[in-house]
Structure 1
C-alpha cells in the first residue's frame, strides 16, 4: 500500500487526483499542477536508486530528442532578433515538463491501484459533467451558469465558447468502454440494448455539440474501440446505423448545430483551398519551403507568418490555393500538430515528432490481454494525435493537457503484471512490491 509517510509522493498523488478538475475549469491551476508534478518526480528520481530508468524508455528518449532539436531551432532566430523575444526560447526549454509530468503519472503515481482508481473516478465525473452541461444547454438554451449558446448556434457546455466537444470526444471513449465492459457478460438482447443505448447517447451529445472535428474524431474513436473490443462490435454496428437519424433529428431540435456540423462542413470541403484551414495550410507550405531544415523555432508560425506574406508561392501551389486570402491567416498556431512541428523545427523536427507519436502509441497499445478501459485509453490517445485534423497547440491547455493526462494513465497499466477484463475498474491482484516507486497491496 502507498507509504503515506512520504509527503513528496502523497502530494503528487493528490495533484494527480485533482488534475482532471483543473483541466476542466481551472487552466492556470492545471499548468501549475503539471509543473509541480514534473518537479516532484525529478526530485524523487534524484533521491532513489535506478529511479531515472524512465528516462531510457523509447517514447521519452524520442520526446527528449524532439525537445532538444526544437530548442536548437529556436536559439538562432532569437539571437538574431527575428523571433518573439526570449520568451519563445524559455517556452521551448520548459516544454519538456509535460512529458516529465506524463512520466510521473505513469511511472510513479498511478501504478498504485488505489490512486489510479481515484483519478479515474474524478475523470469520469468530469466527463459526465461536461456532457450534462451540453445536454442541459440543448434543452433549456443555457448551461448551468446561465450562459447561452454560442453566436453560431453551437453548444458551449460549461464554457462561454464552444470548446467542450474537443475534450469530451477523448474522455467519452474510456468511459464508454468501462460501461460496455460492465455489460459484456449479460445476455445478448440485454447487452445490445444497454451498450447501444450508451453509444447512441454519446453520439447524440456529440452531435448536439455541433463541432465537426470532435464529432468525427469521437465516431472514429468508437470504431477503433469496436474493432479492438470484440463484445461490442455488433452493438457498435447497429448503433452506427442510427447515427444518420440522430444527425437529421438535430436539424429539428438544434438547427445551429446542424448548420455547423453538416452545412458548413460541406461548404468548406467543397472549397477547402479558399477556406480558413486551406489558407493556413497553404501559408504553412510556403513557409516550410523557404526554411525546410530548421523551421522558425518555437511558435514560429505566430512570429513569422506576417513576414511570409511576401514569399513567392510555387506555381503548383498557386493553382490549387487562392492567392489572396479573405481573412487573416496569421493566427496563434497552424491548427495542426504536424504542421506546427514543421513550422517550429523543420522537416527533421516533423520526422522526430512523428516518431514520438508512434512511440507513444506503441507503448500504450493494449494488446490482446488489455482491458476494455485500456482500449478506450488507446483510442482516445490515438485520436488526440491523429494527423488529419485541426487541433490546438501540442502543449496548449486544456486539450493538450488532457492528452498528457490520458497518456500517464495508459502508461501506468504497463506496470500491472497481468490484466483481467472484468470488472473494468477492479485493478489487478498483484503481490506487494514496488512498481515505479509505489507499493500496491493485494486486492
Structure 2
C-alpha cells in the first residue's frame, strides 16, 4: 500500500500542473490508502498533532456555517456549499499522509522533491521561452496585461513558481556551496540569480513580493548563504529599473501598474474586493456565509455601503467589487466560517509554521519547505481560493514534505539526498 501511495503522490505534482481531475484522483488515492493503513495498524498519533487538530476545528467551523439551517441563519449557500466544505478534510489528510507515512524514507523524499523540482524547472523553461520567442510550447502568447503565462494559457506561472522556488533551489545551492573551489560557488549564484530573474520577467507583483520575503527569511535563517542572499537582494532592487529595457511589458505590469493601484488602492479592484469582504463580515461576524459564500452573496446591494469610518466610499460591481473569491485567505476564512473560523484558520497556519520551523537553520530543504508554507500563510497577500486546486495542492504537498523531513539526528549523505544537513564550516565541506 505504501508503494502505491508513493506512486500516486509522485503523480500529484504533475496533475497540479495540467490535470486537476488527475490531481484529485491521486490525492484521493493517497488519502484512502493512508486511512486504511492507520486503521489496520491502529496508529492515529498523527491525528493528535496540533496543526491537524486546529485544522479539523477550522473544518468543522466551516461545515457548521455551511449547513443549511434557515432558522439559525446558517448555510445560506445550501447543500452544495455544505458538500464543498465537507471534502476540505482531504487536504489535511494529504499533508498528514505525506508527512507521517508516504515520505518516511530518504529515498521517497528525494523522489518527491525531484518531482517538485521538475515542475519548477518546467515553469522556468516555458517562461523564458515565452519571453524570448513570444510563445510557449503550446503557442500561447504573453497575457494582455504584460505578465508571462509560462506553461499555462493564463497568467498562472508566478504563484507556483515563487512558492516552490526556495524548496527546490535551496538544496541545490547548499550542495554546491559545500563543495570546494570557485566553480560550484558560481553555479550556486547562477541558480539563485536565475530563479529571481524568472520571478522578475514573469511580471506578477505578489509572487515577486513573496519571493523577496522568502529571500529575507533565507538570509536570516541560513548562515552559509547569508551574505550572498543579501547581495542578491540588493542586485534585484538595482535590476528592477533595467527590466524596462529587457522586458518592457513585465516592467509595466510589475512597476507602473503597481504604482497606479497603490496610489488609489481603495478604488482599485483589490481595494474594492477587500472593502466588500469586510462589509460582508460585519453583516455576519459569527455565522459567516458558508463555503464560497463570497462568490454566492457578494453581488447583493446591501453590501454596497463601503467603510465610512475609514473614509472608504461605497463599492461598485463595475469597479470589480465582486469575484469568485475575496483574494485573501484570511478574509475568505472569516466569510466562510465566521470570526471563529478565522481564529481557527490563523491558529492552523501558525501551527504549521511552528511544526516546520524546528531545525531549519542548517537543513536547506526544511528551510525551503518552511518558506514555501510561509508565503502561503502570509496574511498581507493577494491569493487564489484557499481550498481549490491547483494552488491548494501546492501548499499541502509542500507542507507534507516539510513534515516528513527529519529535524535532528545525523545528516544523510548530501550527494544522495538533498535534505542533508549543511554545516556552516570555514572549509565549506559537507557535514
TM-score by length of 2: 0.92
Which residue of the partner structure matches residue 89 of structure 1? 82
Greater mean deviation of Cα atoms: 245-254 or 70-79: 70-79
Maintained 8 Å contact 1:70/1:298: yes
Deviation readout 1:18-72 (Å, 9 max, x if unpaired): 11111112122111211221122111111113x1111111110110011111111
Q: 1:426 to 1:326 in 2, by over 3 A?
A: closer
One of 112, 116, 120 as aligned partner of 1:123: 116
Rounded to whole Å, the distance in 2 between the matches of 1:81 and 1:417 is 50
One of 391, 416, 420 as aligned partner of 1:399: 391
Which residue of the partner structure matches residue 243 of structure 2? 250
Deviation at residue 225 of structure 1 after TM alignment:
1.4
Rounded to whole Å, the distance in 2 between the matches of 1:105 and 1:246 is 39
Maintained 8 Å contact 1:273/1:322: no
Deviation at residue 237 of structure 1 after TM alignment:
1.6
Which residue of the partner structure matches residue 343 of structure 2? 351
Rounded to whole Å, the distance in 1 between the matches of 2:360 and 2:85 is 38
SS at match of 1:183: helix
Which residue of the partner structure matches residue 214 of structure 1? 207
Q: How does 1:204-283 map to 2 (within 5 A)?
A: 204-283=197-276
Rounded to whole Å, the distance in 2 between the matches of 1:76 and 1:212 is 39
Q: 1:48 to 1:370 in 2, by over 3 A?
A: farther
Rounded to whole Å, the distance in 2 between the matches of 1:252 and 1:367 is 42
Maintained 8 Å contact 1:181/1:423: no
Q: 1:168 to 1:41 in 2, by over 3 A?
A: same
Deviation at residue 416 of structure 1 after TM alignment:
7.0
Rounded to whole Å, the distance in 2 between the matches of 1:148 and 1:324 is 32
Q: Once superposed, which parts of structure 1, at least 4 consecutive aligned residues long, lie more than 6 Å away?
A: 78-82
- 1:341 matched to 2:327: no
Greater mean deviation of Cα atoms: 133-142 or 321-330: 321-330
Rounded to whole Å, the distance in 2 between the matches of 1:421 and 1:332 is 47
Greater mean deviation of Cα atoms: 372-381 or 144-153: 144-153
Maintained 8 Å contact 1:169/1:217: yes
Deviation readout 1:160-212 (Å, 9 max, x if unpaired): 10101100001111222112111223468656533332222111111100100
Deviation at residue 144 of structure 1 after TM alignment:
1.4
Greater mean deviation of Cα atoms: 38-47 or 271-280: 38-47
TM-score by length of 1: 0.89
Q: How does 1:106-117 map to 2 (within 5 A)?
A: 106-117=99-110
Rounded to whole Å, the distance in 2 between the matches of 1:256 and 1:38 is 43
Deviation at residue 306 of structure 1 after TM alignment:
1.8
Which residue of the partner structure matches residue 387 of structure 1? 379
SS at match of 1:153: coil
Rounded to whole Å, the distance in 2 between the matches of 1:392 and 1:323 is 21
Q: How does 1:144-155 map to 2 (within 5 A)?
A: 144-155=137-148
Q: How does 1:57-96 map to 2 (within 5 A)?
A: 57-76=49-68, 83-96=76-89
Greater mean deviation of Cα atoms: 249-258 or 404-413: 249-258
RMSD between superposed Cα atoms in Å: 2.2
Q: How does 1:361-380 map to 2 (within 5 A)?
A: 361-367=353-359, 370-380=362-372
Rounded to whole Å, the distance in 1 between the matches of 2:416 and 2:177 is 11
- Paired residue total: 420
SS at match of 1:349: helix
